[in-house]
Each structure stands twice: as structure tokens, then as C-alpha cells.
């Protein structure tokens, strides 16, 4: 049994993490946001696990083993990834984004990886994710198995200085690969990063213990490996919880964290609806409405949840509240494009197509007039694009949204609208923009 204690511990830890995420996703959506969003518990866990892997990698690189070059390279990689996770302390220390990064970084942050993939669900991003998933399976699952059965190419690679992860870590590498592919579009790529950072910390800790206790028997090393796994997990998550709590006590950081949580609540409300979990979606929309009770968009979304749950009376009540709010605005500014588009959507939801079409035409007339008056206005082009999109003219909408981005390239909202249209309706704008450090 002692020889298997490391395997039992690894499998138990993996199952515990998976069960924890399953329960949180199903029953505690706000807690899941805290566990996966930028600057919150999940990202700080990644940072500390990568830091632990960095520590052990440096020790192993300096220890003079035959794997020293591999661990030196891994130390550099862990240093880079840990820094990128927190954008090199930009938000932590309130460092302004340099103009070069603001203009070219897809997330307007001081990091490198968002020059290439960023928050958008592009073909390049999908290819990179697929390649990473394959690499995790080949290195973390296939390579240790091949080495165990004595396959000559694997033995040769090992002799050349590429260590194999311990076989008991295969569930972590498999989980990392599967979640990296983002099959469910539920921000599970963040779970992949947590698993990857943890498995690297355990992997490097495993080799450090082997180096430090050379000559010790198998039972002794298995016990040490098991204890190290638990200690690494507790230390990483404990430090992450402490750091998150500490950041939340700083007013400047708290405001940013609160904004990211609200963003996450909005994103996940939509996703829960996509998977038919209308009760969870409604609960999240209620949270958002507590902070913004006059948002007709939120009222429409909440009304849709109640409609899907078959609570027609509640649906009509909330839909009527949205109409009343917008009609008050319409009475003051009947030519406002945003108000008319909102009324178009709300009347459509209520089944009143005649009034919906009336307000769509008002929006089109007003937005076209605004573009004629201000042909170089990014805002005018944006709202004309939104009006064309509501009318179903995607070609004209694309032209106007491209124009808006050209006139004001620093606007993230204009970019989001353009990417949603060009990349498709389902998650063309990846929620990772507010969920991750990258």
C-alpha cells in the first residue's frame, strides 16, 4: 500500500478538484466566477503554483542532474507564465499600459500573449489550444507510458535529458488537455490552467524529492511524494486565498475586482441560459439588477428566464417594467437610437411586432441622420451598424462597425461588436477577456 500512496493521493486530489468544480458550477455560480476570473482566487492559484514550480525548477537546474537544462528552460517558462498571469503586476501596482501595448495588445494590457490570441475566439487561438492539448497528452500520458514499457525512442529521449512526469499524474495532464479545448464554452480553460500549474508544481517537486533523497527506498519516496502533493495544493490555494482577500481590502483593487465579478455574472447568466439552467441564470440577472435596476437589457434577460421557466405572469411583469423605463426615456428623447433599439427588442419579446417595427424604423432613421451630420463620428457609425444589424442587414452593419473601429480603434465595445459579427454569434468575443490573466 505504501508504494501506491503517491498514486492514491494524486488520483484523490484530482477527483477532489473535479468534484469541487462540478458542485460550484452547478450550485454556486458566483463562487465559480471567483474561482476562474482575472485577479481572483483561480488566477492567484495559478500564479503561486507556477511560482512553486519555478522554485523547484531553479533548485533542480542548479543541482547538476542530467536534467538540469530541461529544468532551467522550465524555470524560464514558469517565470514568464507567472508574470503574464498577473500582467507583470500592472493592475496590482496601478501601472498605466504603455501606448504600444494599448494600441496592439488585444486586451490592452502589458503582456505578450494577447498580441496573438487575446480575448477573441479566432482560428489561430483554436489551433494553439489544439496543439497544446496534444502536447499535454503526448508528454504527460503517452511519454511516461512508453518509458515504462521500455520503448527505445522514449528511452533515448529520456537519456538526452527530457524527464518524464511520474505516471500518477496522467489524470491531471488528461484533464488539462480536455479543458484546454473549451468544449463547453464555460470558461473551463481556466480550470486547465489551474491543473497545469498544479501539475507542474507537483512534477518539479517530485524530481526535487528524488534528487534530495537519492538512495531511499520506494516506500519512503512514495510517502514523501504524497505529502508534498497535499502540501503544494494547500500552500498554493492558501496563498491565493490570502492574496485575493488582501487585494479586496484595497479600495482601488476592490473596484476593479467588483467590475470583473459583475462582468462574470453577466457572462455566466447568458451561459446558464444557453444550457437551460434558467434558475441559475435568473439568480445572476437578479444580482446585476440590484446594482443597475433601470437596465432594460437586464430586465429583458430576466424576463426571458421566467418565460422559459413557464412563469408567464412574472415574465409579463418584468417585460412591462422594461417597456415603461424605455418609454419614459423615449418621451424625453424620441430620436435616441439606443432607446428605440431597446424598445424594438422589448416589444419583440412581448410579441408586439407592430410597435417593434415602428421603433426599429425610428432607430434607422435617426442613426442614418446622425451619420450624415457627423460622417467622421465613430459613435454614429457604431449605432448605425447596430441598427442595420437589428434590421437583419449584416453586410451594411459590418461596414459601419468596421468604420467605427477604424475611427476609434481603442474602443473595446466597438471591437466586441465587430468580432461578434465577423466570428459568429456564439462566443465570438471570448469571456476570457475579463476572466483570465490572459
133 lies in some domain: yes
Q: Residue 74 domain-assigned?
A: yes
Residue 289: Cβ within 10 Å count: 17
Distances 112 to 100, 406, 416, 438 between C-alpha atoms, Å: 11, 23, 20, 9
pLDDT in tens, the chain (438 residues): 566 899 999 999 999 999 999 999 999 999 999 998 878 999 999 999 999 999 999 999 999 888 999 999 999 999 999 988 887 777 777 776 666 555 555 555 555 555 555 555 667 778 889 999 999 999 999 999 999 999 999 999 999 999 999 999 999 999 999 999 988 878 898 999 999 999 999 999 999 999 999 878 888 899 999 999 999 999 999 999 999 999 999 998 898 889 889 888 988 999 999 889 999 999 999 999 999 999 999 999 999 999 999 999 999 999 999 999 999 999 999 999 999 999 999 999 999 999 999 999 999 999 999 999 999 999 999 999 999 999 999 999 999 999 999 999 888 889 888 888 886 544 433 333 333 434
Is position 27 within any domain? Answer: yes
Evaluate whether residue 30 is within a structural domain.
yes
Q: For the purposes of burial, counting CB atoms within 10 Å of the CB of 63, is it exposed (0-12), middle (13-18) or buried (19 or more)?
A: middle
* Distance (Å, whole) CA 41 – CA 57: 24
pLDDT of residue 423: 66
> Would you say residue 285 lies in a domain?
no
Helix/strand/coil (H/E/C) assignment for every residue in the chain: CHHHHHHHHHHHHHHHHHHHHHHHHHHCHHHHHHHHCCCCHHHHHHHHHHHHHHHHHHHHHHCCCCCHHHHHHHHHHHHHHHHHHCHHHCCCCCCCCCHHHHHHCCCCCCCCHHHCCCCECCHHHHHHHHHHHHHHHHHHHHHHHHHHCCCHHHHHHHHCCCCCCCHHHHHHHHHHHHHHCCCCCCCHHHHHHHHHHHHHHHHHHHHHHHHHCCCCCHHHHHHHHHHHHHHHHHHHHHHHHHHHHHHHCCHHHHHHHHHHHHHHHHHHHHHHHHCCCHHHHHHHHHHHHHHCCCCHHHHHHHHHHHHHCCCHHHHHHHHHHHHHHHHHHHHHCCCCHHHHHHHHHHHHHHCCHHHHHHHHHHHHHHHHHHHHHCCCCHHHHHHHHHHHHHHCCHHHHHHHHHHHHHHCCCCHHHHHHHHHHHHCCCCCECCHHHHCCC
Rg from Cα positions in the chain: 26
In a domain, 313, yes or no: no
Is 153 inside a domain boundary?
Answer: yes
d(CA 323, CA 333): 15
- The sign of the CA dihedral 427, 433, 434, 435 is positive
Domain of 62, in residue numbers: 2-248
Residue 38 lies in a domain: yes
Q: How far apart are CA 38 and CA 22, in angstroms?
A: 20
What whole-number distance in Å separates Cα of residue 45 and Cα of residue 244?
10
Pairs from 325-331 (Cβ < 8 Å, separation ≥ 24)? 325/294, 325/296, 325/299, 326/296
Q: What's the pLDDT score for residue 436?
A: 40
What integer pLDDT is reported at residue 412 of this predicted model? 81
Q: What confidence score (pLDDT) does residue 90 get?
A: 76
β partners of residue 429: 120
- Please state the domain count of the chain: 1
Could you give the C-alpha distances from 56 to 93, 116, 151, 329, in angstroms and in order? Answer: 27, 30, 29, 61
Burial class (CB in 10 A: 0-12, 13-18, 19+), 131: exposed
Cα–Cα distance between 343 and 325 in angstroms, integer?
10
Amino acid at each position: 500500500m505504501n508504494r501506491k500512496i503517491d498514486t492514491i493521493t494524486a488520483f484523490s486530489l484530482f477527483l477532489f478538484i473535479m468534484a469541487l468544480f462540478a458542485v460550484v458550477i452547478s450550485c454556486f455560480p458566483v463562487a465559480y466566477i471567483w474561482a476562474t476570473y482575472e485577479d481572483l482566487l483561480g488566477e492567484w492559484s495559478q500564479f503561486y503554483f507556477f511560482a512553486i514550480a519555478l522554485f523547484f525548477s531553479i533548485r533542480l537546474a542548479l543541482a547538476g542532474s542530467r536534467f538540469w537544462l530541461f529544468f532551467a528552460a522550465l524555470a524560464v517558462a514558469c517565470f514568464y507564465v507567472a508574470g503574464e498571469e498577473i500582467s507583470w503586476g500592472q493592475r496590482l501596482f496601478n501601472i498605466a499600459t504603455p501606448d504600444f501595448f494599448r494600441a496592439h495588445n488585444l486586451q490592452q494590457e502589458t503582456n505578450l500573449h494577447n498580441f496573438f490570441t487575446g480575448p477573441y475566439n479566432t482560428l489561430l487561438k483554436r489551433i494553439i489550444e489544439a496543439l497544446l492539448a496534444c502536447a499535454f497528452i503526448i508528454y504527460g500520458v503517452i511519454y511516461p507510458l512508453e518509458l515504462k514499457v521500455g520503448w527505445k525512442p522514449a528511452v533515448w529521449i529520456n537519456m538526452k535529458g527530457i524527464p518524464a512526469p511520474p505516471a500518477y499524474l496522467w489524470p491531471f495532464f488528461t484533464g488539462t488537455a480536455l479543458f484546454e479545448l473549451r468544449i463547453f464554452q464555460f470558461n473551463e480553460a481556466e480550470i486547465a490552467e489551474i491543473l497545469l500549474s498544479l501539475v507542474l508544481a507537483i512534477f518539479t517537486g517530485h524530481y526535487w524529492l528524488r534528487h534530495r533523497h537519492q538512495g531511499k527506498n520506494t516506500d519512503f519516496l512514495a510517502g514523501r511524494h504524497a505529502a508534498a502533493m497535499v502540501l503544494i495544493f494547500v500552500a498554493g490555494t492558501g496563498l491565493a486565498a490570502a492574496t485575493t482577500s488582501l487585494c479586496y481590502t484595497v479600495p482601488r483593487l476592490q473596484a476593479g475586482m467588483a467590475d470583473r465579478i459583475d462582468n462574470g455574472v453577466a457572462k455566466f447568466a447568458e451561459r446558464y441560459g444557453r444550457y437551460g439552467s434558467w434558475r441559475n441564470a435568473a439568480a445572476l440577472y437578479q444580482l446585476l439588477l440590484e446594482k443597475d435596476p433601470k437596465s432594460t437589457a437586464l430586465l429583458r434577460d430576466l424576463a426571458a428566464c421566467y418565460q422559459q421557466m413557464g412563469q408567464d405572469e412574472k415574465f409579463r411583469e418584468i417585460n412591462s417594467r422594461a417597456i415603461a423605463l424605455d418609454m419614459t426615456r423615449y418621451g424625453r428623447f424620441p430620436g435616441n437610437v439606443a432607446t428605440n433599439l431597446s424598445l424594438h427588442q422589448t416589444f419583440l419579446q412581448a410579441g408586439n411586432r407592430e410597435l417593434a417595427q415602428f421603433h426599429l424604423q425610428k432607430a434607422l432613421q435617426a442613426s442614418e441622420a446622425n451619420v450624415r451630420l457627423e460622417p467622421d463620428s465613430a459613435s454614429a457609425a457604431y449605432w448605425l451598424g447596430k441598427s442595420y444589424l437589428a434590421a437583419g442587414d449584416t453586410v451594411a452593419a459590418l461596414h459601419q462597425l468596421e468604420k467605427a473601429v477604424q475611427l476609434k480603434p481603442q474602443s473595446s465595445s466597438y471591437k466586441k461588436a465587430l468580432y461578434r459579427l465577423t466570428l459568429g454569434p456564439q462566443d465570438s468575443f471570448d469571456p476570457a477577456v475579463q476572466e483570465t490573466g490572459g
